[in-house]
Amino acid sequence: MKRLLILAFAVVAAACSPVQRAVRDVAADPYNNDNRYVIILSMDAFRWDLADHAHTPTLDSLRRVGTYAETYPVYPSNTFPNHYSMATGLHPDDHGVVNNNFYDKVLGRELSVFKLADTSTPNFWGGDPIWNTVERQGRVANIFMWPGSEVPIGGRQATVWTPYSDDPSYYERADWVIEAMTRPVEQIPNLVMWYFEQPDAAMHRHGPLSEQAIAQAERIDSTLRYFFWKIRQSPVYDKINFIVTADNGMADLSDDRIANLYGVLDPQCVVRTVSGRPYGVEVKAGYEQEALQALRKVKGIKAFKREELPAKYHYGKHPTRITNLVVMPDMGWTVEYRKPEVERRSIGKGAHGFDNFEREMSMVFYGTGPAFRKGYEQRSFQNLNMYIILCHLLGVEPSENDGDWNAVRNMFVK
């Protein structure tokens, strides 16, 4: 079958980074002659239209020869809830990572996905991540810095996993994957997942379509050109299905769009606030309705009781990790609870976490390989369906999930 053709160019390959890895002993022939292989890359916050503003010949080529879709995230449209929804096929309400930061009422403290001490807390992660699903069914996974992969979940991890660090260059990360896929056939993993923290970082600091974000898109594209040139050395190259995607989009922020809730609510009735998008407000019992009436007069936000959030968001069921009031900022708005005498911290130029059905939050999906249709434009689908896509490509039985097979089935060769 016609595969992706990319012009080779001279690049000096970086040696594999000495970043710490945990490797479990595997049997001499763990694959049982299986011929299914998937490599999936997440480019954090690569918005649906970013490639249109940048020179990205590799991504453009992927779009021409494979399947392309503009996808949309789960709510909230933030990094860890979405990466873990992609890995489990569950909404954040169901897998428990309800935001990048949240207050856990059982533990009585705020937890952060950026603190290993928190993410190692029992029951922090729910659901069955794809690396556990496939390994339990006889396949092998190598996971390079995918959010959620560096902590045992359900008592197990992938055969190879790499803790997150922004020190390894993108070329070094590409070399990790290339090395894994150019081993003797019996040692090649079936599933490889890897991660870039850009263009997210540039977009937060400079804006979603800033020259810095565009430069990061072109940097990624250059890395992918090198990657696809080198990966052709794999003895199973013709059997690999490649996915290049993202977790969410990005919206412009402005100092003119800030909603300060201090003074709107009775401070004696505010138990706690949890910053972020959405913004969490826990108030004393009996004050909820009065608080809602006050919040609904504030420009730039929508406010709901936890259990009354619109059903389309699939958010608000989790009883211990979501505040009793949820404040959803309008697109491009920032919510705070700040006393006037406290200096405001910089809000940056870009953010996500907004309504996941707004187009600014949408992102890209490129799929190419023997299982994908060629030159096909797939209708938009929610990114939690990545789990069932991966299960289909690898021939494994999915665990319980929230995915919709009918939303993605047409992208595959019959």
130-169 confidence digits (pLDDT tens):
999 999 999 999 999 999 999 999 999 999 999 999 999 9
How confident is the prediction for the chain on average, in pLDDT? Answer: 92
Give yes or no for residue 105 having a pLDDT over 80. Answer: yes
Query: Average pLDDT, stretch 99-108?
Result: 96
According to the model, what pLDDT value does residue 152 have?
95
In angstroms, rounded to a whole number, what is the distance separating the alpha carbons of residues 363 and 359? 9
Helix, strand, or coil (residue 178): helix
Among 81-85, 335-339, 352-356, the range scoring the smallest mean pLDDT is: 335-339
Residues 393-403 as b or e (16 or more Cβ within 10 Å = b): bbebebbebbb
Q: Residue 138: how many CB atoms within 10 A of its CB?
A: 14
pLDDT value at position 255? 93
Average pLDDT over residues 50-69: 98
DSSP 8-state secondary structure symbol assigned to residue 14: P
Q: Report the run of H or E that residue 279 belongs to, with start and end.
A: strand 279-283
Distance CA 318, CA 127 (A): 14
For residues 389-398, average pLDDT: 97
Residue 34's pLDDT band (cuts 50, 70, 90): low
Do the first three CATH levels of 22-90+127-252+356-411 and 258-351 match, i.e. the same topology? Answer: no
Q: Which CATH superfamily is domain 22-90+127-252+356-411 in?
A: Alkaline Phosphatase, subunit A (3.40.720.10)
Predicted confidence (pLDDT) at residue 102 exceeds the cutoff of 80? yes
pLDDT tens digits, 160-206: 999 999 999 999 999 999 999 999 999 999 999 999 999 999 999 99
- pLDDT at 20 > cutoff 70: no
Count CB-CB contacts under 10 A for residue 315. Answer: 25
- pLDDT score recorded for residue 414: 84
What are 304-344's pLDDT values in tens digits?
999 999 999 999 999 899 999 999 999 999 999 998 888 88
* 235 pLDDT higher than 90: yes
Nearest to 63 by CA among 414, 378, 370: 378
- What DSSP state is assigned to residue 190? S
Q: How confident is the model at residue 9 (pLDDT cuts 50, 70, 90)?
A: very low
Domain-wise residue ranges, the chain: 22-90+127-252+356-411, 258-351
Residues 328 and 78: beta-carbon distance below 8 Å: no
Residue 32 pLDDT: 43
Tell me: the pLDDT tens digits for 245-270? Answer: 999 999 999 999 999 999 999 999 99
Q: Which residues contact 403 (CB under 8 A, 6 or more apart)?
A: 89, 384, 385, 387, 388
Structure tokens at 387: 């789990």
Give me the architecture of the 258-351 domain, per CATH: 2-Layer Sandwich (3.30)
Q: Which residue has the tokens 């039985």?
A: 397
Dihedral sign of CA atoms 171, 177, 178, 183 in order: positive
Between CA 289 and CA 292 the distance in angstroms is: 5
The confidence band for 23, taking pLDDT boundaries of 50, 70 and 90, is very low
What's the pLDDT band for 75 if we cut at 50, 70, 90?
A: very high
Yes or no: say if 46 and 383 are a contact pair by the CB < 8 Å rule.
no
CA dist 367 and 358 (Å) reads: 23
* Residue 238: both structure tokens together: 């013709």
